[in-house]
A = this chain, B = another copy of it.
Amino acid sequence: MARPKVVIIGAGFGGLAAAKALKRAPVDIEIVDRRNYHLFQPLLYQVATADLSPADIAWPIRSIFSRQKNVAVTLAEVQGVDLEAQQVLSAAGPIDYDHLIVATGAQHAYFGNDHWEEHAPGLKRLVDATEIRRRILMAFERAELAQDPEAQARELTFVVVGAGPTGVEMAGAIAELAHFTLARDFRRIRSRDARVILVEAGDRVLSPFPEDLSAKARASLEKLGVEVWTGVTVEDISTEGVQTSDGFVPSATVIWGAGVAVKHLEAWLGVEIDRAGRAMVGPDLTVPGHPDVFVIGDAAKMPWADGKDVPGIAPAAKQAGAYVADVIAAQVAGRARPGPFRYRHVGNLATIGRHAAVIDFGRVKLSGFVAWWLWGVAHIYFLIGVRQPLIVAVSWFWSYVTYSKGARLITGRPVQSSKQHPPQT
């Protein structure tokens, strides 16, 4: 008799954790992803700001599982799920499953303002990071060539929308790029004159953190030269800049960090979804009525405690992946399925440039330089689970001590002059 088939859609933190936890289970696993790599998203902003190269934070899925023989990888776009026939429908044809784990993650979302995307890319995929890197570096290049002081000022104004961890990290890193890394590179402009504006509709940065850490994060950002505009909403984004509730900001480079949403799950699974498109799963992370179909990680609204949801962070996705693997292994072995998923919250981390971070471990709260080092060690530690930690560490350390950025390449687009203000699609 054929072994039970586990299909995992998505090779993010959740999908990988599930596949690894099923290493010794008597099942055949097929991971379906439209990319050939796993992406270490927490460091994605460092690619966007030219601290790291794409290959430093992405690993081919096949090489992660080259020694785990019960895993096959299919590089294909998923088009749907046939729950009756127990098949995943993909560009590579239908794929049968006995157990299905949907771990597709979230994309950035503009909530009814999709036309903002071309002017204000988000930061979820590797192509987003290299595109943002290209835009930031090209803005400095165009400023260097601009004759008109107004055009120059517009090129040197960077607006980050949304002060969650991604927005805070991006704003801090752009400020450092302008004030340190590029400081000696230009002859006609002073890169230090660049303005970095962080716009947040709420009343403080890093709202999931306690208020005192928010205040410390804000102080660290301001020390780096970032203008923090809280209580300000974005009303429109165009080629020319950003219309806020506080006035118009001429800007050539806008980055979106204000929201994410999940796609396709209602259509694929017939499952109830919340406003952000996340699947409403049961306590065992299954789709109601389908005990063999699981949704985990950012794609699911996983209930936690006090009416809160499990946060959309890597440790949560990993725990969910390992839990679902346990459920499947128990069922395959004929044992009783374990009880409901219980999320163990370790803490929240965010970094501000290369000298400060804020960490909330619940009872323990840290900020400043010590927190930054802890953040760095934690991330290098997590990377060690995958590949080439030595090179990332060396590359990062080198970049840190020299303030030089080898990854500062503008690739993929022709040069555009500052005079034309072309639509930045």
Nearest neighbor of A37 in chain B, beta-carbon distance: B409
Does A222 reach chain B (CB closer than 8 Å)?
A: no
Q: A409–B36 contact, CB under 8 A? A: yes
Does A107 reach chain B (CB closer than 8 Å)?
A: no
The residues of B that contact A412 with a CB separation of less than 8 Å are: 127, 412
In angstroms, Cα B406 to Cα A390, docked, is 12
Does A59 reach chain B (CB closer than 8 Å)?
A: yes
In angstroms, Cα B126 to Cα A409, docked, is 10
The residues of B that contact A405 with a CB separation of less than 8 Å are: 60, 63
Q: Known contacts A145-B76, A391-B395: does B60 contact A411 (CB below 8 Å)? A: no
The residues of B that contact A410 with a CB separation of less than 8 Å are: 35-37, 75
Q: B409–A66 contact, CB under 8 A? A: no
Most chain B Cβ neighbours within 10 Å, of A91, A127, A130: A91
Does A58 reach chain B (CB closer than 8 Å)?
A: yes
Q: B415–A391 contact, CB under 8 A? A: no
In angstroms, Cα B129 to Cα A409, docked, is 14
Q: Which of B60, B75, B186, B387 contacts A415 (CB 8 A)?
A: B75
Nearest neighbor of A77 in chain B, beta-carbon distance: B415
Nearest CB of chain B from residue A22's CB, rounded to whole Å: 16
Q: A141–B75 contact, CB under 8 A? A: yes
Q: Known contacts A387-B404, A394-B394, A409-B37: does B185 contact A77 (CB below 8 Å)? A: no
The residues of B that contact A59 with a CB separation of less than 8 Å are: 406
In angstroms, Cα B411 to Cα A141, docked, is 25
- Interface of A with B (CB < 8 Å)? 34-37, 53-56, 58-60, 62-63, 66-67, 72-77, 91-93, 126-127, 130, 137, 141, 144-145, 182, 184-188, 387-388, 390-391, 394-395, 398, 404-412, 414-415, 417
Nearest neighbor of A52 in chain B, beta-carbon distance: B55
In angstroms, Cα B398 to Cα A63, docked, is 15
The residues of B that contact A187 with a CB separation of less than 8 Å are: 72-73
Nearest CB of chain B from residue A77's CB, rounded to whole Å: 6
The residues of B that contact A406 with a CB separation of less than 8 Å are: 55-56, 59, 387-388, 391
Q: B76–A409 contact, CB under 8 A? A: no
Interchain Cβ contacts under 8 Å between A and B, 6 examples: A55-B407, A60-B409, A62-B185, A63-B404, A72-B187, A388-B404
Q: Known contacts A185-B63, A387-B404: does B54 contact A411 (CB below 8 Å)? A: yes
Q: Known contacts A91-B415, A145-B74, A186-B62: does B394 contact A137 (CB below 8 Å)? A: no
The residues of B that contact A415 with a CB separation of less than 8 Å are: 34, 75-77, 91
